[in-house]
Amino acid sequence: AVTTYPVTDGVSQALETTLRGVDELLPQADWVQKLARSEATGVPLRIKLGLDPTAPDIHLGHTVVLNKMRQLQDLGHQVIFLIGDFTTLIGDPSGRNSTRPPLTAEQIKVNAETYYTQAAKVLDPARTEVRYNSEWCDKLGARGMIELSAKYTVARMMERNDFHQRFTDGSSISLHEFLYPLLQGYDSVALRADLEMGGTDQKFNLLMGRHLQQEYGQDTQCVLTMPLLVGLDGEHKMSKSKNNYIGITEDANTMFAKVLSISDTLMWNWYTLLSFKSLAEIAALKAEVEGGRNPKDAKVLLAKEITARFHSAALADAAEQDFNNRSKGGIPDQIDEVSLSGAPLGIGALLKQANLAPSTSEANRLIDGGGVRVDGTAISDRGLKLEAGTYVVQVGKRKFARVTLG
Ligand code: TYR
């Protein structure tokens, strides 16, 4: 007989925390029962997040899932940070239209360390279980791999969007790419995960974990996907290639200034996905702003919180000071939004096209006079070229524009 556990207030609150900012939580009823069981028995739930150490530098977008882990960790559950040192040998085909090149063992090691150091700024390292999937994947051997592959059909594998697309486009899919989702799912079996989370692109792999756990006679994990974070431009997902990102190793002053450059609308979305403040605190702050408090106050609080997380409270205070000094009075509440194309674009042309200077020669004169700032930093080089991205550009004391250059 299956025991049904009572859904207490504590369980409802834990569910609310789980649901904050999520894209999907599946199946929600199972998760409620897992939470209820954990509360009744005192046994923490096992929550898995896997990362392949492919790219060593992480930006704020990558921390959205880590924040969710942290929230569940703070509820007392066991967080498992899984480093996919084995799966990296294949490379996740999710969202890819070609086979990934494999990394060397040395690169994997270096990247894994960088990842964990960064992740430890969001998670509580003392309560985090760090595992490497080579631990059980190496042991699987050819025999185990064959047994594992027998647990899924080619037809279902091909239903997956990215494989389907590649197949119909006539681009090649190597057999080993089919092994990727199987191995990710097998990790959940090895870890006896109760919940696995990832970005929206991970859904297929996450559901594979459920399927395989069932095949191996285990309780099945729930799956949780988080949305992609929108970048500084307020439009595209945060990414290095769009230059609309905040790297989590960027210095405190830059980080602070970049958060302050976002629009008010984006700010509330970032509050949901990036802040550790409770939903009640955020709602109260929002009510204050709606009641007339300057939205910039709320943005400063967010900028400080984020900067303090990756640096320190003292450096966050100093960054605020620095920002105020440099922008002499700060950025006004309402600033013009300008979209320009032609990146990389010279600063002189940019000032003219953004209507911040009547001509390029006048723009150069302003630069020489020290009156031009980009993201709070005074510009002295007439030859400066700006890459694609979003910048707060200031001329003199009062002229501002938020320029998105593409
Ligand atoms: N596929 C995940 C990604 O590319 C990483 C991962 C690897 C997740 C192994 C889980 C796992 O078990 O982000």
pLDDT tens sequence across 165-184: 999 999 999 999 999 999 99
Report residue 170: phi and psi, to 5°: 80, 10
Closest by Cα among 10, 45, 49, 41 to 30: 45
Q: Kindly give the parts of the chain with pLDDT less than 50.
A: none
Rounded to whole angstroms, the Cα distance separating 270 from 267 reads 5
Residue reference for tokens 């967010």:
302
- Structure tokens of 159? 């239903």
Residues in the chain: 406
Closest protein CA for atom 12 of ligand 1: 184
3-class DSSP state for residue 224? Answer: strand
CA distances from 251 to 224, 310, 379 (A): 32, 9, 19
Q: Cα(9) to centroid of ligand 1, in Å?
A: 33
3-class DSSP state for residue 78? Answer: strand
Q: Cα(280) to centroid of ligand 1, in Å?
A: 33
3-class DSSP state for residue 285? Answer: helix
pTM, full prediction: 0.80
Q: Closest ligand 1 atom, CA of 196?
A: 10
- Structure tokens of 2? 């299956």
Cis amide linkage into residue 53, ω under 30° from 0: no
- Structure tokens of 13? 């609150």
**Confidence at residue 368, expressed as pLDDT on a 0 to 100 scale:** 86
Residue 295 near residue 263, CB atoms below 8 Å: no
Q: Closest ligand 1 atom, CA of 187?
A: 12
Closest protein CA for atom 13 of ligand 1: 51
Q: Cα(31) to centroid of ligand 1, in Å?
A: 21
Rounded to whole angstroms, the Cα distance separating 193 from 196 reads 7
Measured from CB, residues less than 6 Å from any atom of ligand 1 are 50-52, 82, 84, 87, 92, 133, 184, 187, 202, 205
Closest protein CA for atom 1 of ligand 1: 92
Rounded to whole angstroms, the Cα distance separating 182 from 86 reads 12
**Confidence at residue 330, expressed as pLDDT on a 0 to 100 scale:** 59
Q: Closest ligand 1 atom, CA of 88?
A: 7
